[in-house]
Structure 1
Amino acid sequence: MRSVISDILSEGGIDVVAQAKNGREAVKAVREHEPDVVTMDVEMPEMDGIEAVERIMAQHPTPILMLSAHTDEDADVTFEALQKGAVDFFTKPGGEVSMEMSRLKDQLVDIVLTVAEAEPRTEADATNTNAAADVATESYGGQPTLVIGSSTGGPTVVEEVMSSLPLSASLRILVVQHMPGGFTGRFAERLDARSEYDVSEARDGARIGGGEALVAAGDRHMEVANYSHGRLRVSLTDDPPVNSVRPSVDVTMRTAAEAIDDALIGVILTGMGEDGADGIRALKERGGRTIAQDEASSAVFGMPKRAIETGCVDTVTSVESIPAAILDAVPQEAY
Structure 2
Amino acid sequence: MSTSAAGGPTRAVVVDDSRFMRTLIRTLLEDADVEVVADASNGKEAISVVDEHRPDVVTMDIEMPEMNGLDAVEGIMDECPTPVLMLSAHAEEDADVTFEALDRGAVDFVTKPGGEVTSEMPRVKRELVEKIQSAAAVDLSATQRRTRPPKAESEPQTTPESSASATTSTALPQEGSTLVVGASTGGPNVVERVLAGLPADAGLRVLVVQHMPKGFTKRFAARLDGRCDYDVREAEDGERIGPGQIRVAPGGSHLLVTADRAGRLKLELSDDDPLHGVKPAIDLTMASAAEVVDAPLAGVLLTGMGRDGVEGMTRISRAGGHTVAQDEETSAIFGMPKRAIEAGCVDVIAPDGRITEETLRGITT
TM class by shorter chain equals over 0.9
Which segment is superposed worse, 54-63 or 229-238? 229-238
* 1:4-83 equivalence runs, <5 A: 4-83=24-103
Asked if residue 277 in structure 1 is aligned to residue 297 in structure 2, the reply is: no
CA distance in 1, matches of 2:280, 2:175: 28
Q: Does 1:262 align with 2:295?
A: yes
Partner SS for 2:38: coil
Indicate which of 172, 176, 190 corresponds to 1:143: 176
Specify the alignment match of 2:147 in structure 1. Answer: 126
Deviation at 1:246, TM superposition (A): 1.2
Match of 2:207 among 155, 168, 174: 174
Letter in 2 for 1:81: A
CA deviation profile, 1:188-219 (whole Å, cap 9, x unmatched): 00110011111000000111211110000111
Q: Higher mean Cα deviation, 114-123 or 169-178?
A: 114-123
Taking only aligned residues, the RMSD between alpha carbons, in angstroms, comes to 2.0
Question: Do structure 1's residue 189 and structure 2's residue 209 form an aligned pair?
Answer: no
- Note the C-alpha offset of 1:128: 6.4
Name stretches of at least 5 consecutive residues in structure 2 with no aligned partner: 1-20, 151-167
What's the CA shift for 1:101?
3.6
SS at match of 1:200: strand
Decide whether the 8 Å contact of 2:179 with 2:206 is kept in 1.
yes
Matched, 1:157 2:190: yes
Residue 141 of structure 1, CA deviation = 2.5
Aligned-pair CA distance for 1:44: 1.1
Deviations 1:241-273 (A, max 9, x none): 222211111111111011110000000001111
Q: What SS does the corresponding residue of 1:16 show, helix, strand or coil?
A: strand
Which residue number corresponds to residue 115 of structure 1?
135
SS in 2 for 1:104: helix
CA distance in 2 between partners of 1:152 and 1:300 (Å): 7
**Paired residues of 2:26 and 2:36 also in contact (CA < 8 A):** yes
Distance 1:139 1:85 in 2: 35
Q: Following TM superposition, by how much is the alpha carbon of 1:14 offset from its aligned partner in structure 2, in angstroms?
A: 1.3
Q: Provide the secondary structure at the position in 2 that maps to 1:19.
A: strand
1:249 aligns with 2:282: yes
| Distance (whole Å) between structure 1 residues aligned to residue 261 and residue 85 of structure 2 | 42
Alpha-carbon distance, 1:142 to partner: 3.7
- What secondary structure sits across from 1:113 in the alignment? helix
| Equivalent position amino acid for 2:333 in 1 | V
- The answer for the alignment partner of 1:132 in structure 2 is none
Q: Which amino acid aligns with 1:56?
A: I
TM-score, normalised to structure 1's length? 0.92
Distance 1:203 1:176 in 2: 14
Q: Which amino acid in 1 is paired with 2:75?
A: R
Which region of structure 1 is more displaced relative to structure 2, 95-104 or 320-329? 95-104
Pair 1:35–1:4, CA change in 2 (3 A)? same
* Structure 1 portions without partners, runs of 5+: 130-134
Native 8 Å contact 1:227 1:259 kept in 2? no
Alignment correspondent of 2:255: 222
Q: 1:16 to 1:74 in 2, by over 3 A?
A: same
Taking the aligned partners of 2:49 and 2:302, their CA distance within structure 1 comes to 32
Partner Cα distance (1:21, 1:306) in 2: 39
TM-score by length of 2: 0.85
State how far apart, in whole Å, the 1-side matches of 2:250 and 2:126 are: 24
Q: CA shift at 1:227, angstroms? A: 6.0
Q: Residue 356 of structure 2 corresponds to which residue in structure 1?
A: 323
Name the SS for the 1:311 alignment partner: coil
Q: Secondary structure at the match of 1:66?
A: strand
Matched, 1:199 2:220: no
8 Å Cα contact 1:163-1:196 kept in structure 2 = yes
User: CA shift at 1:231, angstroms?
Assistant: 4.1
Identify which of 226, 237, 245 aligns with 1:212. 245
Distance 1:296 1:270 in 2: 11
CA offsets, 1:289-322, max 9 Å, x none?
0011111111111111111121010011111111
| 1:122 to partner: Cα distance | 5.3
Percentage of matched positions with identical amino acids: 54
Q: Secondary structure at the match of 1:270?
A: coil
Alignment coverage as a number of residue pairs: 327
